[in-house]
Amino acid sequence: MSLTFLEAWRLRKRLKPEEGSVLPWLFGLATNVIRNQARTARRHKAAMSRLPTRDLIPDFSDELIARFEDAERVAAARTALETLSDTDREIVMLCVWAGLDYAAAAEALGIPVGTVRSRLSRAKVRLRELTATMMQRENR
């Protein structure tokens, strides 16, 4: 409707009100505006269909944020690891990071397998708690 009235304003000098009603002239303008809009839409659609399809670029922001969070978590875990006793730290490093089983870690440290299991379990719980605490402090 706004385009019709803009067109009427633009062509107002062609209007001859002495010939009668202005309504048919306005309806004619509205019809032409609608036709022009439809033609423009068809041409635009045809032009867009001729363009080659573009590959979508994935949004990497979520992955980037996850990497930052992982880096923070690793830094907090390293700091937490330093607070463990020497024996517990060695058990964690041998079993978790080096991938040794309980028996191999027990043999390397010269302690019973049951001791390795219990200390590793307690050390993991302690590391989780300390890491979470450090992450909360950093996020404040």
CB 76 within 8 Å of CB 138: yes
Rounded to an integer, the average pLDDT of 74-85 is: 87
pTM over 0.95: no
| Structure confidence at residue 136 (pLDDT) | 82
Cβ-based neighbours of 101, under 8 Å, separated by 6 or more:
95
Tokens 């809009």 -> residue: 37
CB 1 within 8 Å of CB 34: no
| Structure confidence at residue 46 (pLDDT) | 94
Render pLDDT for 66-75 as a digit per residue (tens, 0 to 9): 888 888 888 8
CB 55 within 8 Å of CB 102: no
pLDDT reading at 92 higher than 80: yes
Q: Quick one: three-class SS letters along the chain?
A: CHHHHHHHHHCHHHCCHHHCCCHHHHHHHHHHHHHHHHHHHHHHHHHHHHCCCCCCCCCCHHHHHHHHHHHHHHHHHHHHHHCCCHHHHHHHHHHHHCCCCHHHHHHHHCCCHHHHHHHHHHHHHHHHHHHHHHHHHHHC
Give the chain's length: 140
Render pLDDT for 41-62 as a digit per residue (tens, 0 to 9): 999 999 999 988 887 777 788 8
| Structure confidence at residue 42 (pLDDT) | 96
* Structure-model confidence comparison of residues 127 and 54, the more confident one: 127
